[in-house]
């Protein structure tokens, strides 16, 4: 077998080594901070009504999840290539029969494994606190109905359905999936930028700027591509914008999740497909840039 042929085993070895490298850099310390934030949000402001309490918990938790995923996606990916060049690990790896695209795939998969594991653990903590808060809110609300003498089976059933809709549902996990898919695109983007960037700071700044623009693509289209514009030019401009910066607005389903609305299977499929297209495109461009890069 040709040693330079595609090897999933080599990629997996690089990915696990990347996870170990990032863990040693204490990237996952954010997990502890997240748990403190979630527990504090879960039991703060008890005077709010049930809907507000659960929405606040989901809002704060999803905000922390997004910050974690974006920061890890940008910073960890931006640090990997310069760090490997600095300690000459890159030369050691590429001196062996390891194609450059396998190195890039291994590094990206390692970052995604770390983000995925972190989001999974935080999802468990978030779900546990949300379920506990939901149970307490329901018990308090039923108790209030009993004190008012209106605790009929119909009223209790209606209250249970309402609190259950605002509490722990599968929608919560779909929200976490949307965050992971968005982080995957940002990580692949950051990897691509690091392949031609002159410094880690440049990679971080440009990745952050592109991420901000990606979140605001809808506003940009609305402002620059007016209704009076030629439809062909409008579509062309939108396509160019989507190519230059990822359309991260597709993954903005968290407001729906926080409000207890259902995220459809079609929306989930669109998010997964969009993420796959962007990640694949960024990895291909990264390979083209990295092959030409002088080390």
pLDDT-derived band at 222 (thresholds 50, 70, 90) equals: low
The reply to whether 29 falls in a domain is: yes
Q: Can you give the residue range of the structural domain that contains 163?
A: 8-292
| Highest-scoring range by mean pLDDT, 47-51, 61-65, 220-224, 283-287 | 283-287
Asked if pLDDT for residue 20 goes beyond 80, the answer is: yes
Q: In this predicted structure, what is the pLDDT of residue 101?
A: 86
For 72-100, the DSSP string reads HHHHHHHHHHHHHHHTTHHHHHHHSS--H
The reply to whether 226 falls in a domain is: yes
State the average pLDDT for the chain.
80
The reply to whether 284 falls in a domain is: yes
Is residue 188 within 8 Å of 277, Cβ to Cβ?
no
Higher model confidence: residue 169 or residue 295?
169
The reply to whether 3 falls in a domain is: no
Q: CA-CA distance, 115 to 172, in Å (whole number)?
A: 17
Q: What is the total count of domains within the chain?
A: 1
Residues of the chain above pLDDT 90, percent: 16
Q: In this predicted structure, what is the pLDDT of residue 237?
A: 63
Residue 178, classified by CB atoms within 10 Å of its CB into exposed (0-12), middle (13-18) or buried (19+), is buried
Cβ contacts of residue 194 below 8 Å, gap of 6+? Answer: 77, 78, 80, 81, 82, 200, 203
Q: Per residue in 82-134, pLDDT tens?
A: 887 777 777 777 777 778 888 899 999 999 999 998 889 888 988 888 888 88
Percent helix, percent strand, percent coil in the chain, to nearest 5: 80, 0, 20
Buried b (16+ CB within 10 A) or exposed e, 257-293: bbebeebeeebeeebeebbeebbebbbebbbebbeee
Q: Per residue in 161-192, pLDDT tens?
A: 777 777 788 888 999 999 999 999 999 999 99
The reply to whether 1 falls in a domain is: no
User: Which helix (H) or strand (E) segment is 125 a member of?
Assistant: helix 100-148
The reply to whether 288 falls in a domain is: yes
Asked if pLDDT for residue 31 goes beyond 80, the answer is: no
Q: In this predicted structure, what is the pLDDT of residue 283?
A: 92
The reply to whether 134 falls in a domain is: yes
Its pTM stands at: 0.85
The reply to whether 2 falls in a domain is: no
88: left (phi over 0), alpha (psi -120 to 50) or beta: left
């Amino acid at each position: 077998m040709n040693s330079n042929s595609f090897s999933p085993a080599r990629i997996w070895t690089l990915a696990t080594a990347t996870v170990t490298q990032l863990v040693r850099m204490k990237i996952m310390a954010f997990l502890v901070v997240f748990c403190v934030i979630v527990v504090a949000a879960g039991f703060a402001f008890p005077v709010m009504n049930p809907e507000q309490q659960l929405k606040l918990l989901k809002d704060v938790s999803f905000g922390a999840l997004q910050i974690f995923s974006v920061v890890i996606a940008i910073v960890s990916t931006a640090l990997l290539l310069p760090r490997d060049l600095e300690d000459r690990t890159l030369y050691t790896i590429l001196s062996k029969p390891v194609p450059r695209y396998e190195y890039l795939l291994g590094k990206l998969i390692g970052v995604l494994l770390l983000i995925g594991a972190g989001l999974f653990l935080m999802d468990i903590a978030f779900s546990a606190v949300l379920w506990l808060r939901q149970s307490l809110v329901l018990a308090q609300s039923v108790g209030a109905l009993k004190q008012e003498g209106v605790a009929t089976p119909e009223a209790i059933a209606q209250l249970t359905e309402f609190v259950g809709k605002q509490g722990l549902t599968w929608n919560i996990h779909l929200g976490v999936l949307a965050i992971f898919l968005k982080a995957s695109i940002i990580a692949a983007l950051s990897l691509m930028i690091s392949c031609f960037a002159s410094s880690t700071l440049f990679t971080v700044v440009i990745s952050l700027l592109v991420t901000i623009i990606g979140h605001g693509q809808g506003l940009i289209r609305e402002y620059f591509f007016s209704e009076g514009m030629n439809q062909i030019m409008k579509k062309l401009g939108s396509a160019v914008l989507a190519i230059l910066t990822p359309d991260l607005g597709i993954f903005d389903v968290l407001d729906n999740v926080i409000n207890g609305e259902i995220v459809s299977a079609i929306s989930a499929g669109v998010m997964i497909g969009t993420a796959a297209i962007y990640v694949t495109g960024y990895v291909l461009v990264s390979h083209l840039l990295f092959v030409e890069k002088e080390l």
